[in-house]
Copies of this chain bind each other. A is one copy, B any other.
Amino acid sequence: MEQLPNFLNQRAFLTPNRLALVFDNQRWSFMEMYRTVETLAQKIATLGIQAKDSVAILLTNRPHTVFIIHALQQLGVSAVFLNHRLTAKEMVFQLKDSGTRLLISEDAFKEKMNGIKGLFHELPMTTIVEIDHLETKKVPLVNEFVLDEVCSIMYTSGTTGNPKGVLQSYGNHWWSAVGSALNLGLTEKDGWLCAVPLFHISGLSILMRSVIYGMPVYLYEEFNEKTINQVLQAGEVTIMSVVSTMLIRMIDDLGDKRYHSNFRCMLLGGGPAPKPLLDACLEKNIPVFQSYGMTETSSQIVTLAPEDSIVKLGSAGKPLFPSQLKIMNNQMQLLPNQPGEIVVKGPNVTKGYLNRDEANKKNFKDGWFYTGDIGYVDEDGYLFVMDRRSDLIISGGENIYPAEIEEVLLSHSSVKEAGVVGIEHTQWGQVPYAFVVVSELVDEANLINYCKDKLAKFKIPHHIYIVNELPRNASNKLLRRKLHELMPKG
């Protein structure tokens, strides 16, 4: 099996009049969406963009972003998804690494575009308004999606070094959508609410499911618990993707009200839900499906059904049907209840990172992907995730890698050693705290300021403590998990 019909094209052919997209009071059918996308693709083609080129997008959660994403697929182009919370410098790394030939952005990000231009002036840039003014060029659009070809590239960081571009193929997206449907079911009534960023796999995967299932996406530019709660009471939306931070705010706002009985799945990513949150959902009849996944697995790969959420408290569930998992340590598969590295396999798992031979060799073995995350499975096969890889900090659904922040701090002339760890936070789940050993006197404000043009805002440590030494093991490896013991009491 090497190719499938072009997803949007086939969908518009099979069910032209079905609802595809809802934003504010605007609605598009699949045929209307296809026509818009086709024109957009023919305009982008006038910029000399061809199949297999990489084109980056820096766009908000609005309909034009959906159309641009599909237009790039019609041209056979790989889309590089820029997180708009990154600094210009961080973006330029990704643009260069991915060999991007064009950046498509919008007026909302004018300042960020200027920042990028300052650092990477050769890169052609355009905006959605400029594209709209272009003529069209009759070019052949993609007839079939080759499942092995790269559809999207999203950057993710690891233990050390620069962020890595995860290659997500058409096949990865297809299988992710199919695995999810086999688990959650699929009905004509379904509509999926997307208030998570389209530049994350959590958002993009909703768009892909939409065309594969023939299901509308209810798109929101911003997450606002009051608006969303009203929508979930109305009955058009049946599924929503959230992270804990969002769900906590929704439940606080919901009060005595209840969601419509059509609402059948709150798909919760970004780590297991705390017990009080689950209890509140149970009390309010909210069907929470906890899940485990990452950019490399093209969204969820392990999901826990609501009926198991209390008996298997803290578990992320079992794999989707096409996927498998095992727990490894020193090249040995571990028995139930023994913690080790979580290793996964499945057609939704990326074939590898762009230009990262070493990381690919390290993380992919015999068709299995070594996640770097630590966990165990119980005797019934339910996964319990203990530590996200490389002491990953998840803050409001965003992944933060301690190593990336440490590297910035270490580049400051006064910093000799640095360690970063996630500390519990009521609103965001976790936020980064830093601990540094310095060679000369420097104050916290100075260090935080130093981070500001180098790191996205959500990555900047909430506190930077100056300490005498960092906890290390015998081989001098930093023990990040012990860092919190250095915090001043009280």
Task: Report which A residues bind B (CB closer than 8 A).
Answer: 1, 4-5, 10-11, 13-14, 147, 171, 175, 178, 181-182, 185-188, 212-214, 318-319, 321-324, 347, 381
A171 touches B213 (CB 8 A): no
Chain B residues with CB under 8 A of A5: 321-324
Q: A1-B147, A4-B322 are in contact. List 19 more A-B contacts (CB 8 A).
A: A1-B347, A4-B321, A5-B321, A5-B322, A5-B323, A5-B324, A10-B321, A10-B324, A11-B321, A13-B318, A13-B381, A14-B319, A181-B181, A181-B182, A181-B186, A182-B212, A185-B188, A186-B187, A212-B321
| Residue contacts A-B, CB under 8 angstroms, 11 given | A1-B147, A4-B321, A5-B321, A5-B323, A13-B318, A14-B321, A181-B182, A182-B214, A185-B186, A186-B187, A212-B321
- In the assembled complex, the CB of A6 is this many whole angstroms from the nearest CB of chain B, namely 10
For the complex of A and B, 5 pairs with smallest distance between CB atoms: A1-B347, A185-B186, A185-B187, A186-B186, A14-B318
Contact among B1, B187, B381 with A1 in the assembled complex (CB-CB below 8 Å): B1
How many copies, total? 2
Quick one: closest B residue to A3, CB to CB? B367
Main secondary structure of the interface of A (DSSP, over half): mixed
Contact A1:B181 (CB < 8 A) given known A14-B319, A187-B187, A318-B14: no
Chain B residues with CB under 8 A of A187: 185-187
B1 touches A182 (CB 8 A): no
Determine the distance from Cα of A171 to Cα of B147 in the docked complex, in whole angstroms: 15
- In the assembled complex, the CB of A191 is this many whole angstroms from the nearest CB of chain B, namely 14
Quick one: closest B residue to A322, CB to CB? B4
A347 touches B381 (CB 8 A): no
B182 touches A347 (CB 8 A): no
A175 touches B13 (CB 8 A): no
Chain B residues with CB under 8 A of A185: 185-188
Determine the distance from Cα of A318 to Cα of B13 in the docked complex, in whole angstroms: 9
Chain B residues with CB under 8 A of A182: 178, 181, 186, 212-214
Chain B residues with CB under 8 A of A13: 318, 381
